[in-house]
Structure formats: C-alpha cells, structure tokens
Amino acid sequence: MGDKGTVAMVAMSHAAYSFDAEYSYLVPEKFRQKLRAGMRVFVSFGRGNNRVIGLVTRICDDDGSGRKLKPILAVVDSECLVTDEILKIIFWLKENTFCTYYDAFRTAVPTGFSYKADLHYAPVNTYIQKERLSPEEAEIIDFLEITEDQQEIDKFLDIKAFPERKKPLDMLIDKGFVEETQSFKRKVGDESVKMAALAEGYEDAELTPKQKKVVELLEECGAASVKELCYMTGCTATIIKRLCDKNAVRVFEQEVMRDTLGEITERESPDDITLNEEQTAAFDGIMALIRAGKPAGALLYGVTGSGKTSVFIKVIDAVLKMGRTAMMLVPEISLTPQMVARFKVLFGESIALLHSSLSLGQRMDEFKRIKRGEARIVIGTRSAVFAPASDIGVIIMDEEGEQSYKSDSTPRYHARDVAIQRCGHNGGLLLLASATPSLETFYYAQTGRFHLFTLKHRYKDAVLPKVEIIDMQTEAAEGNDSLLSRRLADELTETLQRNEQAILLLNRRGFTTYISCRSCRQPVVCPKCNIPLTYHRKNNRFMCHYCGYTMDNNAVCPNCGSDKLRSSGVGTQRVEDEVARIYPDARILRMDADTTTSRYAYEEKFKAFENHEYDIMLGTQMIAKGLNFPNVTLVGVISLDKALFTGDFRSYERTFSLLTQVAGRSGRGSKPGAAYIQTFVPDHYVLNLAADQNYDEFYEEEIALRQSLIYPPCCDICVIGFASTMESRAIRAADHVTQFIAQYLRTNKVDFPMRAIGPAPCTLEVINGKFRYRLILKSKNTRLFRQMINAVLKDFNDNKDFKEVRIYADINGDIGL
C-alpha cells in the first residue's frame, strides 16, 4: 500500500470540528478512472478502523514519501453530485462559517441523496485450521458455516450491538478467512416507471389474441408504460409477463421526474411586458453590467408596487436569450406560489423549484434537472443558492433585507455571501432588490460597492397608500377595549361594503400570549425554557413557540393549583374570533404557522384569497411582503410594538421594513389604498417614518446610530454562543473562551481592532432546558480574525472539561435572542 500512486484527500461524514480535516487515502487501481473530487467514498478511519462515508475533497499524486496509506474501500456515488464551483463553495463555507467539510456538503446537496452504508460478511471458501484460531474467532467461523441467512449473519456481527466481536472479526478479514462487502442504500430512490418495448425476433413468437393486441400497439408507438398497455388493450400485467417469457417483449425501468410545477394551462411571452421609463432605465443599466461579463453587484431600490418583478422577468428573459442561466431567490416559502405562478406562464418548464415544502424526492429531481441543464431558471428560498446551475448570468434576491436569508444553524451562512461567491465564479451579476433594503446593502450602494438603480414611482402611477397611526392609549382611555380601534373598524366595514378585501397583520400566533395566576402571581411558563406559554384555543393547549413543548389546559396553576388564571396578550386566533364576532358575514382567512402545515397550504390559500373566496386575510409576517392582490385596499396593523424593543440592534430596521412592506400591500391595483397602524407608542420616529414610506430619512437616522455605537456595516459582529444543561458549565466555558482570546491576542501579537461585550446571558437565557450564554466580538471579518475564531473552536472542542457544553460561532447573525 505504500507504492506510489493516486491519493485522495477525504473529509469524514461524522467528524467533530476539532478533527475535521483532509485525510490521505490510496486510490486502488479499479477506482482511478471513475473517482472525482466531490464524490463520496467508503473508508476505514482511525485506530479502530471504523467504516465511515467520506467526501473526496481533492485527488493528487502520491508524494513518494513511502507513507503507508489505507485504501479506499468503495466509491459510493455513481456520478459526482457537486460541480467544481460548488466544491469551492464547500471550502469557502468551511473557512467562513466554521462548519465541517461534510456539513457544507450536506447543505449544498439535497437530503434525499444521503446514503446509509450496510456491511455484510461471508466465509471465504478456503481450508481453515480452527485450532490456530482464538476462541472468539472460532465462534464466528462456526456461526458463518452453519448459517446461510444474511440477515442473521448481519445481526450476529453487528459491531454496535456486540463491540467485543470487532477485533476477532478484523483478524479473520486480515487472514483472508472472512470477506467483507458493502451495500449503500440511498435515503430516497429515483422515481421510475415500468416500460415495455418489442424485443428482437418478436415476429417468431406464437401469440394469443390478447398478446397480439399488445404487440400491435407497441408496433405503432414503439414503447409504452406497462400501466398504459394494460389500460389501452384491456389486458393484465400477467399478459405482459408471458410476452416477456416468450422473448417477444422486454420490460425496463425508465426514470421519471416528480412534478413540482403542476399543469401549465396558459402561456404568455415576456416580450408582452411593457416597462415604463424608470423600469427601462434600470433594465438597461442592469443588462449593461451582465453583458460586461464581470462579477458585479447592484441594488434595485424601488417603492412597494413600483414593478420590480417586471424588471426581474425582463432581465431573466434577456439572460436566457444569451444562453446563460438565472436564479431568483425569495425569503419566504409563502412568496413562492405567486412568483412561480407568474413565471410558469412566462417560462414554462424552464423553471426548477427548490424550497423546504417540496418532498425529498421532488427536491432531488429538481436538483437533477438543474444539473443536467433541463431547467435554466431556479426559483427558491435560501438553500436554492447552492443549485448546481452552470454559467449563471444573474442571481436575483428579492426582499434582500429579510433575516430568513441568514441560516441560524450550521453552517451559519447568509445567502447573499454565497451568491457573491457564485457570481464571482461565473462572472455574473448579483441583483439585490427591496423597497426597504438592509442598512448594510444600502450603505454599500451609497459608497459605490454596489451599483444603485432606483424606482421612485408605483407602476402605472398607482398612488401609495394613505397611512395613519392610531393611538391605542387614547382608544383605551375613551372606553374602547376591542382589539380593533374605532377608525380601523369603520374602515373595515366600508371596505367590505365596497366588496373589496383587507389584510390584518399581527406578528403573534396563538389565542392569548400570556397566562398568569391571580393567587401566586406567577406566569404559566414552559418548564424547559422558563418562557410564558401561549394558549391555542383550536387544540385547547398551552404551547411553547421556542421548543415545541405543549401542556393540557387543565385551567389550574401548575405552581399553586389555583384555578384563578388570567389571560392577556393577543394572538392571531384571538383576533380572528374578534373580527368574526364584529363581522359575522365576512369570510376570514388566517395565515400563520398553525394553518400552513401542509405542503401546498400557501399556494391553495393565497389562490383562494386572490379569487376573492375570502374577504379578510389575517396573519403573521408571512403575509406582509412580496404578495400582490389588486383588490386589497385596506391594511390594518393590529400591533407591532414588541418588535421595536427586542434587544437586537436590527429591531428598528426590521420593524420599519415590516410596516412599510405590509402597508405596501394596499392599493396595488387601480383602486386607492389605505393602511392603519395601531400602537401604544404613536410618537416613535420609526413608526412615523414607516407611515410616510420615508426609507431615506430612516436610513440617515439609523446609519448615524450604527456609526456611533459601532455596529454593522461599520464593523462585523461575531457571536460565540454556549449552551449547557447546567448554568455553571456554560458560565465556566464562556470565561475560558474569553481568557483564551486574551491570551491568543497577546501570544500572536494581533493588532486588528476588536471590542468584546460579555460574556453574558442571552436575552432568552434558557431554551429547551439549556442555559445560554454568549460573547459578542466586534471587529472586521478578516482572515486573521477567522483564524482566531478557528483556534478558539478547536481549543474548546479538544478540551474534555467542556464536552457537556455546546459552542458555536456566528458572524453577523441574530443577537436578539
């Protein structure tokens, strides 16, 4: 095994961060022609020679050092699932998000392609002198000689169940007395259909009348599915089988793709879309950047309803005509149905969808269609940025400021950063778009890092909605204890009388959001998170929205047993009841996480609302952005006050964006619209600027605040988080890391500016029974800074004192929780 040859560098599938690295393996001659970087292999790893699946990261020549390398045991993939470009992205994710190689691979490839390895053992037909074997080895040989059932053998030699049998089994394999083979089972198989076609020499077969019918049909059409043959000829599958036995017909499996688009009943051309003067100027500028063939970034900044989607369509159509591919990213699954419906009519089957509401099989098939070049437009949420498209001309990120583009689990990437890497590799354009861009993006557009294109007017000169702020303190003082202010209730009445539609927003699901005891004055909290439970009336249960814990509504306090419970706070279920009481004839559609659990819920319910099967749509933030319903002329915000005070430096930005965007759902057709914001802080400048749709002034206020407090985009923020079932362990781990960083800076004489905040408890200190602490570092995200964070994580994971503590590092993530 030490002979000079081809060496594969392999990263293990279950590697912990501390030993995640590229390990050298010898490529046997039989694998050299087929093995490529990006394929998965089966290897023995570590001193215990545990069999694991790994990812080949590179293939190179042996350096001739005479190292004794282990050979690759098997190649798992029949073809490489990742392109050279995506392999580079995997390396980038490893360095920039502090994940393992295989975590990055799993993110880039649909889960359905995952494999499970099974090991099988069989005796080798050779003479064995059993007296030379150990008792343990002899026991295994005796069992193999008398047992032919492979399942029984696999059960007997299950190393996890019987670890004491591993050593004698390995010895028998080394001696050549036992043979080991592997089988790999994929999580989801390919969808296929059984087809039939005529075999050579079928004319010579003696056929019954029914069999002749089948042959005549196949002579006419060449090949058909067995199901179709049975239907068309009235025969059974047995007839087809007998034709196969007579060598008149051959049956084979043919791969079919699981449908995601549904039936395409109508078609239009992108050429039919007419752009106004502002849109045309933006389109021309964007296309000039794409035709230059160099990596670039641009922001399309336009008021709500200004026709940004029409510009997207024209750009994508032009990119396709150049022979290149395009990506369209949306922040929420709820936005895909309307976007896909529009694109289906315009581009037909050129579209591929990638989002979490698809089944594993559908995601796999869409991945294959993109990789084969059958689909040239990719539409999807965050993870679609990894789609295996080639020669990407443009990546469009709609509503680019949305936090859902940032992953909050490993790898903790932002879709924008991955898109920048992909545009760099393809010489494409990253087109960011929003009426309320993130502060960072608008800052980069103002300072020249991104090109800026602006749409200042609504399409067809539609008027922006009239927005009014309603003081709920005044309403309460004047005796109105309803969830709806009198002004909003009156406007809602008039809207329904005009046969128009309304949208009501409340960013809290459930019925009541706070239950407390009048006797002991304690809230009813989640035992795992110590956070007040939310009452859901539909299932009559108390629920925790953080860990999923549920509790029966026994109507007694779990602390003191008193039945004097008091409910407060408002959720979407309670608003639904209140609106239904005031407007008994109104058809109400509630859209929140409780009502959209099925795969096609968004598409079906939005379509029903668009067809005016409902009068009022009530929901959480999933209904606030990107949707277009021309008959909606009224928007009411029940309450968003809590969103202003979440403890995150982005809370003002998010609240402003949500208010501006939801107000923009009103008056998008030919009818004028209005929006009403109910609040207990009516003088807050964020609410007033949102009411005026004045993003430019909000940006000036907010960027000045960020600069004075040193927050992004003036720096980057890295959160190092700790979680443990024991608070003392989390505190000790946080203190250790703080001291390690101080020592690292002194030892390595690092001179980059950095500020540390904490360590301190997270805003929600306990979630799912784990105490959570964090250390916040403010610095520039440079290679030297990432090297320091990498050293922190490796030191921590190597330290056995902290094996009960989970650690993570997240750059520019959410610090509000």
99 labelled binding-site residue: no
User: What number of residues does the chain have?
Assistant: 817
230 labelled binding-site residue: no
Helix (H, G, I), strand (E, B) or coil at 224: strand
Task: Outline where DSSP puts E strands in 583-694.
Answer: 588-591, 616-619, 632-639, 674-679
φ and ψ of 365, to 5 deg:
-65, -40
Distance, CA of 165 to CA of 159 (rounded, Å): 7
CA 93 to chain centre: 15
With vertex at residue 32, the alpha carbon angle to CA 30 and CA 35, rounded to the nearest 5 degrees, is: 110
| Nearest Cα residue to 594 out of 570, 617, 614, 620 | 620
517 labelled binding-site residue: yes
762 labelled binding-site residue: no
With vertex at residue 594, the alpha carbon angle to CA 589 and CA 597, rounded to the nearest 5 degrees, is: 95
718 labelled binding-site residue: no
Distance, CA of 328 to CA of 313 (rounded, Å): 10
- For residue 153, give Cα distances in angstroms to 136, 141, 228: 15, 11, 42
- Asked if the peptide bond before residue 71 counts as cis, ω within 30 degrees of 0, the response is no
C-alpha dihedral (579, 580, 585, 589), degrees to nearest 10: 80
Contact present, 579 and 618 (Cβ < 8 Å): yes
Which stretch of DSSP H or E encloses residue 775? strand 770-779
Tokens describing residue 335: 């936005």
Distance, CA of 733 to CA of 726 (rounded, Å): 11
423 labelled binding-site residue: no
Contact present, 547 and 528 (Cβ < 8 Å): yes
560 labelled binding-site residue: yes
DSSP sequence for 698-750: HHHHHHHHHHHHT-TTSSEEEEEEEEESSHHHHHHHHHHHHHHHHHHHHHTT-
Distance, CA of 537 to CA of 539 (rounded, Å): 5
DSSP sequence for 135-194: HHHHHHHHHHHH---HHHHHHHT-TTT-GGGHHHHHHHHHHTSEEEEEEEEESSPPPEEE
Task: Outline where DSSP puts E strands in 311-419.
Answer: 325-329, 351-354, 377-380, 392-398
Residue type, 409: S
**What's the DSSP call for residue 414?**
B
Tokens describing residue 568: 């407060």
Contact present, 252 and 195 (Cβ < 8 Å): yes
557 labelled binding-site residue: yes
Which stretch of DSSP H or E encloses residue 344? helix 336-347
Contact present, 396 and 326 (Cβ < 8 Å): yes
Question: 10 Å Cβ neighbour count for 186?
Answer: 14
Helix axes of 166-175 and 135-146: crossing angle, nearest 10 degrees? 70
- Binding-site sequence positions: 517, 520, 526, 529, 544, 547, 557, 560
Please state the residue numbers annotated as binding site for Zn(2+). 517, 520, 526, 529, 544, 547, 557, 560
